[in-house]
A and B are shown apart, each in its own frame.
Chain A
Amino acid sequence: MTASPSERLARLSWPRVVFVGLVAAFAVVTIPTLVDKHSWTGVTISVAVTAILAYVYLTPKRIAARFLVPGTILLLAFQVYPIGYTISTAFTNYGDGHRLTKTQAVAQIEADSVIEQPGAQRYELSVATKASDTSGAFVFFLTDPDGKVERGDASGLAPVPDAQVTKDQFTGKVITAQGWHILTGIQVNGLGPRLASFAVPTGTGFIKSVGLSEAYVGHFTMTYDASAQTMTDTRTHTVYKESGGEFKAADGSGKTLPIGWKIGVGFKNFTSVLTDAAIRGPFLRVLIWTIAFAILSVLTTFGLGLLLAVVMDHPRMRGRRLYSSLLLLPYAMPAFISTLVWSSMYNKDFGLLNKLFGTHIDWLGSPWAARGSVLLTNLWLGFPYMFLVCAGLLQAVPQELKEVAKVDGASPLRVFRSVTMPTVLIGAMPLLIASFGYNFNNFNVIRLLTDGGPYPSGSSTAGDTDILISYTYRLAFGGQGAQYGLASAISFLIFVLVGLISYTGFRQTRQLEEVYAR
């Protein structure tokens, strides 16, 4: 049954060939950019993915892989890898002020410290890039007072022959340069902080821009001693020693330089969640509310849903279809819209609830009212789902069993408790656990209603209605400055909690099924 190569080739269907071709073309386009950026991980991934896809789709074997590979690659790239990344970030101090590597941080501190020498010469400056936009690396074209042009980048100055440039006849400023794109004033302005911290080393000093079209020769006031690993401020003679990812003044004044770098901090983020009172207090408060919120959401929605399903479950009940169509509406309305509508109904001054009831309750502004509001809205969002589920499960309750119980003289309540409820629970249990897991991370309802608030006095990171996911979000993206390390540590704790809950939940379900199996 062996086929010759040409037969095999003929059997290849063209969609697969086209697909592999596109993937290969994509790799060919991307790899040069990756090499340019020295992103060797990127190159490896790109080559590996292309090779795997080419192999899977061009070989006659690996049929199962053809159906699985695209989803698996996406799963690995955007679900598994981020989890790994989160876990590794949890052990660092990554965040605002600690974004760079140490080498970058040292260079940045030195470049930021360059000041102009009194009476030093100035250059006419043009900023240029290889591409026509400002996204890539840029260089300086500098014209000294004698009209000599030099090109400067992070590695130093290089002379440029006059033949390669045209200069403004009055100022000497470079207007065009062969192979380079001179940026306009607006583009240069847009470079902002990148331009401010860019310095061209000259051997004796450093050239920095001043304004949009002039540059000066300056000197570092901060110098780094690589052997002693210290940073010295040459004006005040303060010596800064490195400590915990930043430079700390050695004179004991406690001063630190604003730019630090990323280092591993071991379990510090985790231990500070447990031991640092300023983090532990809010964290525990948030954790308890998260669990309470998830449990109460499940209980209230399931309770109301079941009640309605039982109420409707009567052979002579009319209009059941109309009821269920109308009760489906809250579920069918996109949740983000409904939640925003609810948030406006809670408005203290103009809200519908206060208007209808003639009250002046600060629904979202006081801790318990806010928690109640969040639960009420979540009940509204969730009960139709539970109603539909319960209505379906009630159909499965064995009618004979109910009849027999009735004949034996059991009260309707007793029948419900001993016959109906167990059957419904077995069916609903996996859904209740899933619903618990979903509400455990129900970011939307918190974000859109209260945004975690109200905040207790003295805490601006953890509000009274914050659940873990919204708390984590604020740590990473809130206005207080990004704390990626700590946020990742808390994400990691959420992983562990969710894992434990799902595990025990599913074990519980299995036991329930065994109990009621016979």
Chain B
Amino acid sequence: MMKDRLWWRHLIGLAALVFALVPILFLVSAALNPVGTLSTTSLIPTGASLSNFSKLFHDPNSPYVRWYVNTLVICGVSAVLNVLIGVSGAYAFSRLRFRGRRPGLTGILLVQMFPNFISLTALYLTFISIGDVLPAAGLNTSLGLILVYLGGAMGVNTWLLKGYLDTIPKELDEAARIDGATENQVFFRVILPLAVPMLVVVGLFSFVSFLNEILLAGVFLTDTTHKTLAVGLYGLVSGNHNTDYGEFAAGSLLAGVPVVLIYLYLQKYLVKGLTAGAVKG
């Protein structure tokens, strides 16, 4: 009797799959469609060619490769430093005892409630003055944007990673200390290797959140050659929705597929990271 009651579960599941997959199918179809306009794109590809991809690499108005490199540099450097700063903070809060530890932890949580992009105006004005003195870190530079992104490095990540470090038995680092390891050695040789799975997850989340960031990147990077993928691809479709669509779709696939693959590969760890309180953003 119970057996024949599973079908409705599959029905709901399949309906959800259709909802989930239609936009992705549409994107793939648009990328392969040789005509490359929005009006001729349908859900099922009508033809297949790589012309959109080759156009993407030869269109002088959209230096796609530059955008890709910019994105990898900005998001990669930001994510790595973000995790390093986060885990250093977490280590101090988890293992060391010092004055101001508790207020420090509370303070971080408090400041984190006000994400830096709300102070966009102030950041913009600040970086105008920084650019006056140090053009390499002003507006329209990767370095400037990375610095802004790192402002939040000592935040949620510190809390998240502290929670993880607290689960690593203290006996391990105490043993290392007794054997004469310095604080640096304990951190780099004992704690960091043990925290790698969590560091990877946090790093990936940071990378993706920087990848998706358009508010600060849009205001900070206005030169075509300095743009990131998010800002650049938005420009490809925002002005005219129809003609450059194939190029946009091809560019989006090239940007999105690697991330999707990494997510699928790390699925197991991601679920743990998710329930630990990370919100996609």
Contact residues of A with B, CB < 8 Å?
Answer: 13, 30, 33-34, 37, 39, 42, 63-68, 70-72, 74-75, 77-83, 85-86, 89, 135, 304, 307-308, 311-312, 314, 316-317, 323, 325-338, 340-345, 347, 349-352, 355-356, 380-385, 388-389, 392-393, 427, 430-431, 434-435, 437-438, 441, 443-444, 447-448, 469, 472-473, 476-477, 484, 487-488, 491, 494-495, 498-499, 502
Contacts and interface: CB of A to CB of B under 8 A. Distances in A.
Interface string B95-126: 01110010010001001011111111111111
Given A30-B133, A340-B248, A392-B275, A74 B16 contact: no
A116 to B, nearest CB: 33
Given A67-B187, A74-B154, A347-B38, A89 B121 contact: yes
A466 B23 CA distance: 24
A138 to B, nearest CB: 15
A499 B113 contact: yes
Contact of A447 (B158, B214, B255, B274): B214
Contacts of B37: 350
Contacts, number: 279
Contact of B280 (A77, A82, A331, A345): A331
B51 interface: no
Overall SS of chain A's interface: helix
B259 A78 contact: no
Given A78-B148, A341-B27, A392-B275, A441 B115 contact: yes
Contacts of B154: 68, 71-72, 74-75
Contacts of A349: 39
A317 B9 contact: yes
Interface stretch (B53-61, B82-90, B166-174, B193-201): B82-90
Contacts of A448: 214, 234
B242 interface: yes
List 10 A-B pairs, minimum CB-CB distance, nearest first.
Answer: A78-B151, A71-B154, A82-B119, A332-B263, A85-B122, A350-B39, A67-B92, A64-B98, A82-B122, A71-B85
B175 interface: no
Interface of B: 2-3, 6, 9, 12-13, 16-17, 19-24, 26-27, 37-39, 41-43, 85-86, 88-89, 91-92, 96-98, 101, 104, 108, 111, 113-126, 129, 132-135, 147-148, 150-155, 158, 182-184, 187, 208, 211-212, 214-215, 219, 230, 233-234, 237, 241-242, 245, 248-249, 252, 255-256, 259-260, 263-264, 267, 270-271, 274-275, 277, 279-281
Contacts of B233: 336-337, 340
A468 to B, nearest CB: 9
Overall SS of chain B's interface: helix
Nearest to A76: B151
A392 B267 CA distance: 13
A487 B96 contact: no
Contact of A311 (B13, B43, B155, B259): B13
A221 B96 CA distance: 69
15 contacts: A33-B134, A78-B147, A82-B123, A308-B13, A316-B3, A323-B13, A330-B20, A335-B212, A336-B211, A389-B274, A437-B113, A473-B120, A495-B118, A499-B113, A502-B113
B116 A326 contact: no
Given A79-B151, A345-B26, A352-B26, A333 B260 contact: yes
B32 to A, nearest CB: 14
Contacts of B113: 437, 498-499, 502
Contact of B96 (A63, A316, A447): A63
Nearest to A484: B121
A476 B120 contact: yes
A326 B25 CA distance: 12
Contact of B20 (A42, A71, A326): A326
A291 to B, nearest CB: 16
A296 B154 CA distance: 31
Given A74-B85, A80-B111, A333-B256, A491 B119 contact: yes
Of A329, A383, A388, the most chain B CB neighbours within 10 A belong to A329
Nearest to B236: A340
A311 B8 CA distance: 9
Contacts of A39: 129, 133
Contacts of B151: 74-75, 77-79, 82
Contacts of A431: 275, 277, 279
Nearest to A377: B23
B114 to A, nearest CB: 5
Given A89-B122, A344-B237, A344-B241, 16 more contacts: A13-B184, A33-B133, A42-B133, A81-B126, A85-B122, A334-B212, A337-B256, A350-B41, A380-B19, A380-B23, A383-B16, A388-B270, A448-B214, A472-B118, A484-B121, A488-B122
Nearest to B259: A334
B210 to A, nearest CB: 10
A67 B255 contact: no
Contacts of B43: 352, 356
A352 B241 CA distance: 13
